[in-house]
Amino acid sequence: MRWATRRHCHVDRAACAWLIRRFLDPEAEFVFVEDPDDVPADATPFDMRGVELSHHGGDCSFETFLRRYEVVDPVLWEIAKVVHEADLADERFDAPEAPGLDVLLRGLSMVRDDEELLALSGPLFDGLYEYRKRALLTGREPA
């Protein structure tokens, strides 16, 4: 399936792309556009103004994906808090990882194009998932 989002990805789009490839559509292909009008007819748009899979009711797009696809995995909802705070920093959640993740991805986006950004941030989110999973299973931060 083809998915479309805005160029110059940052944390929310990178996290959504990871979620799509890892959990929703392993064959996903991404298209990056400048303007919502440039979204190809066969692509599902996300994290763009006026589309369903975007910010809604104060949620970031990653949270919207989890809601729309009725994802119940508690680890993904933990990651959603981090992505929300990295993207919006509105202090809805306590997510101390967020400022660090924000800086890492913002910096990466300065030296890599969107394809590379997704390729590099994917394993980072894999690791974040594994870390949060272990924390949830053992009830403590893994060493």
Partner 1 sequence: MARCRRSGPPGCFLAYRLPRDPSTPRSSLWRKLRRLGAAQLLDGLAALPLDARNREQLEWLADEVIEAGGEATIWVGELASAAQERELGTRMADAIAAEYRALIDDAAAARAERPGQRRRTLGRLRRELRRIRARDYFPPPERELAQQAVDEVAALVEELVR
Binding stretches for partner 1 (CB under 8 A): 8, 49-50, 54-58, 88-90, 99
Minimal distance in Å, beta carbon 4 to partner 1? 17
Minimal distance in Å, beta carbon 32 to partner 1? 14
Residue 94 burial (CB < 10 Å; 0-12/13-18/19+)? exposed
Minimal distance in Å, beta carbon 57 to partner 1? 7
Q: Rounded to an integer, what distance in angstroms lies between the CA atom of residue 20 and that of residue 112?
A: 21
Tokens read off for 126: 């894999």
Tokens read off for 57: 């009711």
Closer residue to partner 1 (CB): 22 or 56: 56
Minimal distance in Å, beta carbon 50 to partner 1? 7
Minimal distance in Å, beta carbon 49 to partner 1? 6
Closer residue to partner 1 (CB): 57 or 139: 57
Closer residue to partner 1 (CB): 21 or 84: 84
Are the C-beta atoms of residues 82 and 97 closer than 8 Å to each other?
yes
* 103-126: burial string, b at 16+ Cβ within 10 Å, e else: ebbeebbeeeebeebbeebbebbe
Closer residue to partner 1 (CB): 44 or 61: 61
Closer residue to partner 1 (CB): 73 or 90: 90
Are the C-beta atoms of residues 63 and 55 closer than 8 Å to each other?
no
